[in-house]
Amino acid sequence: MTSQTDDQHVLVMGAGVIGLTTSLVLSHAYPNAKITVVAKHFPGDRSIEYTSPWAGANWSSMANDNGPLEKYDEVTFRRFGELVDGKEVFGCQTLKAGETKGIDGVNGGGNEAGLGRMGMWGVFDAPIEETGLLTKETGKVWYDQLVGGLRNLGESELPKGATFGLDYPSTFRINTQVYLQWLQVQALNKGITLVRRHYPSVSDVLADHPSTTLLINCTGIGSLNLSDIKDTNLYPTRGQTLLVAEPKKPITRMYEMERRIDPTTTYVFPRPLGGGVILGGSRQENDWSAEWDEELGQDIMKRCCELCPELGKPEDLQIIAKNVGLRREL
């Protein structure tokens, strides 16, 4: 885009975290442009078609390209930090710097955007050379210093089934329900127009918004259903999680275990602002099912309790919600 677009009309399709963030970045860069977000789903909706609210979520990079993917993740990490510290990011700012008091006495409890700092243990069932963590060109974990200096976990610290692990001193956890609502409020405050309507094609959108000079597609897996796109390179990866009450013994860090022997990822993410604890998970490729798999759910609880001792036993967990979502994959 050039400065000539300042007086033109930009239309963003999709109101997940990518769509709303894109609209805010564009609004800040081109304050005179008209910006419209058109979507079937908005924050507060709970549909399997709407991916963002089902995320755990945390900052954890899978990039190892020694290039743009690592840079994207670094920028995201720094922007989250700025938002927690009360600094302006793309013209958006929280009302108060810092976090509320955390129940564990170690970490903060999060801020109004649903963001909070917290350490994490990332463990693996393979040696570091086989985990995909190392950037090929450097032989190092690129975000080592970004998260405060990684530490190798000792043998006595590793949970059952793990052969290697890292202690991340500080990364970010996200209450996605709160964060999405906060992004939407920021968009409204900036005069961005939000339109709730389902469109079967891009051409139908443009017919209703003929002044559009630039259209940005942020529909994710929804692109499969746009008749004039039908991006067949996309496919869903089904994820199943549970939201449980915070245990009596406070959880002072996040836990994540990547397995290469079987296609499961186990994670425990305490959400800030009293958002409970997310337990996951699963990665089931090309599975569109919205139905809860009870056997898988029981397995997730068992795995999470083995990974995070603070949770206690599976029968001790107070289940608040059973969640099923679809990730967009290429």
User: What local confidence, expressed as pLDDT, does residue 144 receive?
Assistant: 98
| Cβ pair 119, 112 in contact under 8 A | no
Instruction: Decide if pLDDT at 270 tops 80.
Output: yes
Average pLDDT in the 141-158 region? 97
Q: What pLDDT does 104 receive?
A: 87
Q: Say yes or no to pLDDT of 2 above 70.
A: no
**Domain residue spans in the chain?**
98-175+236-329
Binding residues for D-dopa: 267, 327
Mean pLDDT of 161-183: 97
**Up-side HSE of residue 326: CA atoms within 13 Å toward CB?**
23
**Continuous segment of H or E residues that includes residue 13:** strand 9-13
Mean pLDDT of 66-93: 97
1 pLDDT above the threshold of 50? no
- Which of 45, 62, 7, 328 minimizes the C-alpha distance to 176? 45
Q: What pLDDT, on the 0 to 100 scale, is given for residue 263?
A: 67
Distance CA 217, CA 167 (A): 37
| Alpha helix positions (H), 55-119 | 68-84
Return the residue matching tokens 């976990």. Answer: 153
Give the pLDDT score at 7: 75
100: DSSP letter: P
The pLDDT value given to residue 4: 56
* Angle in degrees, 0-180, between the axes of helices 176-189 and 17-29, rounded to the nearest 10: 30
**Per-residue pLDDT at 329:** 85
User: How do residues 10-53 score in pLDDT, each as one tens digit?
Assistant: 999 999 999 999 999 999 999 999 999 999 999 999 999 999 99
Question: pLDDT value at position 88?
Answer: 96
Percent of the chain with pLDDT over 70: 97
Task: Determine the Cα–Cα distance for residues 152 and 245; give it in Å rounded to an integer.
Answer: 30
Q: Taking all residues of the chain, what is their mean pLDDT, rounded to a whole number?
A: 94
* Residue 93 pLDDT > 80: yes
**264 vs 132, higher pLDDT:** 132
pLDDT confidence of residue 259: 77
Binding residues for FAD: 51-52, 219
pLDDT of 139 reads: 96
CATH class given for the domain over 98-175+236-329: alpha beta
99-103, 119-123, 170-174, 216-220 — which is least confidently predicted? 99-103
Checking if the pLDDT of 260 tops 80, the result is no
Binding site listing: 51-52, 219, 267, 327
